[in-house]
C-alpha cells in the first residue's frame, strides 16, 4: 500500500509547479484575464510543447497514455496558480468525452489536435431549465436524410468563446428528463447555425450562451451510439470530478498557506494575530478540512484503479467516493475560503489581493457538475435506498 505519486507523476507536478511559480504570478494572470481572448495562446502552446495536453490520451493518438492519477497530479498544481487556460474544459472534459467515445474516425482526427494545441474544446450540456441534471435536455437533434438537424440553446458553456469545437448533448429520442435518448455530437463552433454570446465569469474565465438554429450535422459527428450519450458522460464523470476536486485541493492548500503566513506577519495589539487561540483553532480546522479532502481524493483514485483492474466489481464504490469527494470539496472549500477572507480582515475582500480570486474559482468549481448538496443527495441515494 502506498499513497505516493510515482516518479513520473512527481516530475509532472514539479514542472507545473515551476511554471506556476516562475511564469504565472498574479499580475501575469491578471493581464491574461484582461486580454482580448482572456487566455494566453503562448502559454497554451507551451503546454502543448511540454506534453501537458497529451497526458490522458492513448499513445495511438500521440498521447502520453496517462491515468486519472496523472491528471489529478497536474490539476492540483494548476489550481495553486488558478491558471485560467482551459485545461479542464479542453483536455479533461472535451478530450475525456472524446476519448471515451467509440467513433474512431473522430478520435483519430480530433485528439491529435487537442494534443498539439490547435483545438480548444467545450462541452455544451446545460440548458436554462436543467440545473444539475445533465440528462434534462430539450435541445433536439432530429433525423434528416443526411444526418441530424439540431435546434435549441445551451447556457453557461464554459470557455465557449474560445472553443474551436463543441461536444453538444442533444435529445434524439425520449422525454425531456430521460437518460436514454441523449446523443453527443461533435460540432465545429464556426458552423452556420451556431451563434455564441459570451461573457466573463467571476473566476477569471469565460462562458457562453450558445444557440443552434437548424444546425446540420452528419451521423459521423456522433460520438458514440445514438441515444446512448449519457453512457459516455457517466463513464467520464468520475475523472472529471476528481480533476476538478484536485484543482480545488490545490486552491485550498494555497489559501491555507497564504493565510497562515499572513497571520504570522499581521500585528495587532502589539503581537502577531497568529498568537490568538481563536484564530489558531480556525486555522487548524481549515488544515484538517484540506487533509480530509485530500484523503477522499485518494480514495476516489484508489477506487478507480480497483475498478479498472476488476470491472466486474461494478462502479458503486467509485461513485460513492466521488460523490462524497465533490460534496466534501464544497464544504471544505466554503470553510477554507471564508476563513481565509475572515482571517485576512478588510484586505481579504479587496480585489487587489489574490485571496478573493482563489475563493471565486473554488465557488465556480463547487457548482460545476453539481454542488455539494446535489452530490450528497446522490450519495444518499446510492448508500441508503437499499436499506
Nearer to other proteins, 179 or 326 (CB): 326
> Contacting other proteins (CB under 8 A), which of 139, 205, 321, 366?
321
Rounded to 5 degrees, φ, ψ at 149 are -125, 125
Nearer to other proteins, 285 or 338 (CB): 285
Q: How far is CA 341 from the centre of its chain?
A: 24
Beta-carbon contacts of 274 under 8 Å, excluding residues fewer than 6 positions away, are: 260, 263, 264, 266, 280
Beta-carbon contacts of 88 under 8 Å, excluding residues fewer than 6 positions away, are: 75, 158, 240, 243, 244, 247
Q: Between the CA of residue 299 and those of 45, 74, 258, 383, what are the distances in Å? A: 33, 17, 27, 16
Nearer to other proteins, 143 or 257 (CB): 257
Q: Segment near other proteins (CB under 8 A), from 161-169, 192-200, 205-213, 318-326?
A: 318-326
**Nearest distance, CB of residue 260 and other proteins, angstroms:** 5
Cα 224 to Cα 120: distance, rounded to the nearest angstrom: 21
Ramachandran bin of 65, using left for φ above 0, alpha for ψ from -120 to 50, beta for the remaining angles: left
**Nearest distance, CB of residue 157 and other proteins, angstroms:** 31
**Nearest distance, CB of residue 348 and other proteins, angstroms:** 18
Interacting positions 325-384 with other proteins (CB under 8 A) = 327-328, 376-377, 379-380, 383-384
Interacting positions 202-221 with other proteins (CB under 8 A) = none
**Nearest distance, CB of residue 238 and other proteins, angstroms:** 15
Q: Is 316 in the site for other proteins (CB under 8 A)?
A: no
All 3 cell numbers of residue 140? 433536439
CA atoms within 13 A on the CB side of 139: 31
Q: Are 78 and 91 in contact (CB under 8 A)?
A: no
Size of the site for other proteins (CB under 8 A): 45
**Nearest distance, CB of residue 370 and other proteins, angstroms:** 15
Q: Segment near other proteins (CB under 8 A), from 47-55, 88-96, 204-212, 257-265?
A: 257-265
Nearer to other proteins, 105 or 387 (CB): 387
Q: How many residues are there in the chain?
A: 387
What is the per-residue binding string for other proteins in 270-289, x denoting contact by CB under 8 A?
Answer: ----xx-x-xxx-xxx-xx-
Q: Is 260 in the site for other proteins (CB under 8 A)?
A: yes
Q: Between the CA of residue 178 and those of 95, 101, 134, 198, what are the distances in Å? A: 25, 20, 10, 29
Q: Segment near other proteins (CB under 8 A), from 2-10, 92-100, 115-123, 234-242?
A: 2-10
Q: Is 385 in the site for other proteins (CB under 8 A)?
A: yes
Nearer to other proteins, 257 or 347 (CB): 257
**Nearest distance, CB of residue 195 and other proteins, angstroms:** 41
Nearer to other proteins, 312 or 385 (CB): 385
What is the per-residue binding string for other proteins in 53-82, x denoting contact by CB under 8 A?
Answer: ----------------x-------------
Interacting positions 284-313 with other proteins (CB under 8 A) = 284-285, 287-288, 291-296, 298-299, 301-302, 305-306
- Other C-beta atoms closer than 10 Å to the C-beta of 300 total 28
Angle (CA) 75-305-226 rounded to 5° is: 80
> Contacting other proteins (CB under 8 A), which of 324, 336, 341, 362?
324
Question: Would the CA dihedral through 214, 182, 179, 69 be positive or negative?
Answer: negative
Query: What secondary structure does DSSP assign to 148-184, as a single string?
Result: EEEEEEEEEEETTTT-SEEEEEEESSS-TT-STTEEE
Nearer to other proteins, 174 or 272 (CB): 272
Query: What secondary structure does DSSP assign to 319-348, as a single string?
Result: HHHHHHHHHHHHHHHHHHHHHHHHHHGGGG
Q: Give residues in contact with other proteins (CB under 8 A).
A: 1-5, 69, 260, 263-264, 274-275, 277, 279-281, 283-285, 287-288, 291-296, 298-299, 301-302, 305-306, 320-321, 324, 327-328, 376-377, 379-380, 383-385, 387
Amino acid at each position: 500500500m502506498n499513497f505516493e505519486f510515482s516518479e513520473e507523476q512527481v516530475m509532472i507536478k514539479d514542472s507545473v509547479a515551476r511554471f506556476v511559480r516562475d511564469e504565472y504570478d498574479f499580475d501575469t494572470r491578471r493581464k491574461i484575464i484582461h486580454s482580448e481572448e482572456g487566455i494566453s495562446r503562448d502559454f497554451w502552446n507551451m503546454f502543448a510543447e511540454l506534453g501537458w495536453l497529451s497526458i490522458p490520451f492513448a499513445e495511438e493518438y500521440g498521447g502520453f497514455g496517462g491515468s486519472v492519477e496523472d491528471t489529478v497530479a497536474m490539476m492540483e498544481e494548476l489550481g495553486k496558480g488558478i491558471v485560467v487556460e482551459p485545461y479542464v474544459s479542453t483536455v479533461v472534459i472535451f478530450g475525456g468525452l472524446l476519448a471515451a467515445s467509440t467513433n474512431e474516425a473522430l478520435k483519430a482526427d480530433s485528439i491529435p489536435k487537442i494534443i498539439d494545441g490547435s483545438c480548444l474544446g467545450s462541452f455544451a450540456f446545460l440548458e436554462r431549465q436543467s440545473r444539475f441534471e445533465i440528462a434534462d435536455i430539450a435541445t433536439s437533434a432530429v433525423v434528416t436524410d443526411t444526418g441530424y438537424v439540431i435546434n435549441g440553446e445551451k447556457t453557461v458553456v464554459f470557455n465557449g468563446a474560445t472553443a474551436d469545437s463543441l461536444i453538444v448533448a442533444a435529445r434524439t429520442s425520449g422525454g425531456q428528463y430521460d437518460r436514454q435518448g441523449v446523443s453527443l455530437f461533435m460540432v465545429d463552433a464556426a458552423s452556420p447555425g451556431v451563434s455564441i454570446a459570451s461573457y466573463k465569469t467571476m473566476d477569471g474565465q469565460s462562458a457562453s450562451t450558445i444557440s443552434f438554429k437548424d444546425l446540420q450535422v452528419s451521423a459521423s459527428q456522433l460520438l458514440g451510439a445514438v441515444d446512448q450519450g449519457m453512457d459516455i458522460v457517466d463513464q467520464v464523470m468520475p475523472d472529471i470530478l476528481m480533476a476538478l476536486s484536485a484543482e480545488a485541493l490545490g486552491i485550498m492548500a494555497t489559501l491555507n498557506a497564504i493565510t497562515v503566513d499572513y497571520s504570522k506577519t499581521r500585528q495587532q495589539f502589539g503581537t502577531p494575530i497568529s498568537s490568538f487561540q481563536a484564530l489558531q483553532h480556525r486555522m487548524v480546522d481549515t488544515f484538517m478540512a484540506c487533509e480530509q479532502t485530500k484523503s477522499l481524493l485518494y480514495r476516489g483514485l484508489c477506487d478507480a484503479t480497483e475498478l479498472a483492474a476488476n470491472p466486474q466489481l461494478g462502479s458503486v464504490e467509485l461513485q460513492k467516493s466521488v460523490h462524497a469527494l465533490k460534496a466534501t470539496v464544497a464544504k471544505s472549500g466554503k470553510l477554507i475560503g471564508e476563513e481565509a477572507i475572515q482571517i485576512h480582515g478588510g484586505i481579504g475582500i479587496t480585489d487587489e489581493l489574490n485571496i478573493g480570486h482563489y475563493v471565486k474559482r473554488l465557488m465556480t468549481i463547487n457548482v460545476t457538475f453539481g454542488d455539494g448538496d446535489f452530490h450528497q443527495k446522490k450519495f444518499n441515494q446510492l448508500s441508503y435506498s437499499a436499506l
